[in-house]
């Protein structure tokens, strides 16, 4: 088997109990199809890669890619798709919620030339989905899909599905436009090429077979940042937008701390310095949790990371003042403009340097 008809891409993390049953399900669902399955593992600590390695030795249709750096769901999917041999690429989850039996239906509109992308759309309005998704996830998915439709300007029922098929030639044409650190590769694909012909196929979203879901409220934040980036036609990266939004929250933290310290009769210079340090520490925590979640620091690594971020923030203050002073010298009557230019310089400095030195 060469897998030249179909490549199934399955990004996985801590799915050691689910990968075996998935391959068995693929065998049952894809009889008569020349297929391969590419598991892209984000260096799972539970032995997923070792399990897949053993399976690949027994079955040449099973392939394994292990990623130890620059990890993330969308990036894993992209790498797997770039490695696929099939004329059609299918992306699906490895937790049992995406049933392989619908793959034949996903293939049909692509092989007969009526669509470039076919998606397995969840029946979010169906009450039976509550057994597979929590009420919170259903609500978030409905709201997210509404926002996606507005940004994409497409009447799609579920552009946030993680289960879809795409013609390999069309994917290769737009692959270099992808790579945003988002979690939904389909959304990235559809926003990268608005001319793609899409056909939706309803399917019954299943329950997770084993393990725990990796989706949380962070996903909603990631989606909002991605959509905000797409509203700028992708000119401003979603990660930078997240970094700037966290910076705004730091302003509020700074002011609250300043008022508290001053109310305790602390001298202003001391209160200002402590407030600035507290705000920078808050920014570090939220950026580690949200902006750089796929590269977040853990354990003892947080301490040197925080120290580096505080040093970067201190240097950014000098860049802020220098740029604001230059602007004011050239545009004497525009104090607010000078201040905003300084803040922008500070933000860009901290983002660029933090991306390289901290995360």
Tell me what pLDDT residue 215 has: 53
Tell me what pLDDT residue 234 has: 78
Whether 1 shows a pLDDT value over 50: the answer reads no
User: With contact defined as beta carbons under 8 Å apart, do 198 and 118 qualify?
Assistant: yes
pLDDT digits (tens, 9 = 90+) for 44-56: 999 999 999 999 9
User: With contact defined as beta carbons under 8 Å apart, do 180 and 96 qualify?
Assistant: no
CA dist., res. 239 & res. 225, Å (int):
7
Second-level CATH architecture of 6-230:
Alpha-Beta Complex (3.90)
Three-state SS for the chain is: CCCCCEEEEEEECCCCCCHHHHHHHHHHHCCCCCEEEEEEECCCCCCHHHHHHHHHHHCCCEEEEECCCCCCHHHHHHHHHHHCCCCEEEECCCCCCCCHHHHHHHHHHHHCCCCCEEEEEECCCCHHHHHCCCHHHHHHHHHHHHHHHHHHCCCCCCCCCCCEEEEHHHHHHHHHHCCCCCCCHHHHHHHHCCCCCEEEEEECCCCCCCCCCCCCHHHHHHHHHHHHHHCCCCCCCHHHHHHHHHHHHHHHHHHHHHHHHHHCCCCHHHHHHHHHHHHHHHHHHHHHHHHCHHHCCCHHHHHHHHHHHHHHHHHHHHHHHHHHHHHHHHCCCCHHHHHHHHHHHHHHHHHHHHHHHCC
User: With contact defined as beta carbons under 8 Å apart, do 117 and 165 qualify?
Assistant: yes
Tell me what pLDDT residue 218 has: 77
Tell me what pLDDT residue 271 has: 84
- Residue 140 has a CB neighbour count (10 Å cut-off) of 19
Per-residue confidence band for 17, with pLDDT thresholds at 50, 70 and 90: very high
Whether 19 shows a pLDDT value over 80: the answer reads yes
Q: Which residues pair with 7 in a beta bridge?
A: 36, 89
- Say which residue, 57 or 332, is predicted with more confidence: 57
Domain-by-domain residue ranges, the chain? 6-230, 238-357
Whether 222 shows a pLDDT value over 80: the answer reads yes
What is the mean predicted confidence (pLDDT) over 315-332? 68
pLDDT digits (tens, 9 = 90+) for 150-163: 888 888 888 888 89
């Amino acid at each position: 088997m060469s897998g030249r008809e179909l490549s199934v891409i399955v990004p996985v993390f801590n799915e050691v109990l689910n990968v075996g049953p998935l391959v068995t399900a693929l065998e049952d669902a894809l009889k008569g199809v020349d297929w391969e399955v590419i598991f892209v593992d984000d260096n799972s600590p539970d032995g997923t890669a070792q399990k897949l390695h053993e399976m690949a030795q027994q079955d040449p249709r099973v392939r394994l890619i292990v990623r130890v750096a620059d990890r993330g769901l969308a990036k894993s999917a992209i790498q797997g798709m770039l490695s696929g041999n099939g004329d059609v690429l299918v992306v699906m989850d490895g937790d049992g919620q995406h049933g392989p039996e619908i793959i034949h239906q996903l293939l049909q509109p692509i092989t007969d030339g009526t669509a470039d992308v076919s998606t397995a759309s969840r029946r979010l309005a169906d009450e039976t989905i509550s057994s597979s998704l929590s009420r919170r996830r259903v609500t978030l998915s409905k709201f997210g899909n509404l926002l996606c439709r507005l940004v994409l300007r497409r009447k799609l029922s579920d552009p946030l599905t993680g289960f879809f098929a795409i013609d390999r030639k069309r994917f290769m044409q737009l692959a270099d436009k992808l790579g945003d650190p988002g979690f939904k590769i389909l959304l990235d694909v559809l926003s990268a090429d608005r001319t793609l012909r899409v056909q939706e196929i309803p399917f019954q979203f299943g329950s997770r077979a084993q393990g725990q879901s990796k989706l949380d409220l962070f996903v909603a934040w990631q989606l909002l940042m991605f959509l905000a980036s797409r509203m700028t036609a992708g000119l401003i990266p979603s990660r930078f937008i997240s970094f700037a939004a966290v910076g705004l929250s730091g302003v509020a933290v700074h002011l609250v701390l300043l008022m508290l310290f001053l109310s305790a009769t602390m001298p202003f210079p001391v209160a200002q310095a402590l407030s600035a340090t507290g705000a920078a520490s808050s920014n570090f925590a939220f950026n580690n949790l949200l902006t750089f979640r796929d590269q977040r620091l853990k354990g003892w690594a947080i301490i040197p990371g925080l120290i580096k971020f505080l040093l970067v923030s201190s240097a950014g203050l000098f860049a802020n003042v220098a740029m604001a002073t230059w602007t004011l010298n050239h545009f004497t009557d525009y104090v607010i403009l000078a201040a905003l230019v300084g803040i922008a310089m500070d933000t860009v400095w901290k983002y660029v340097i933090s991306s390289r030195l901290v995360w």
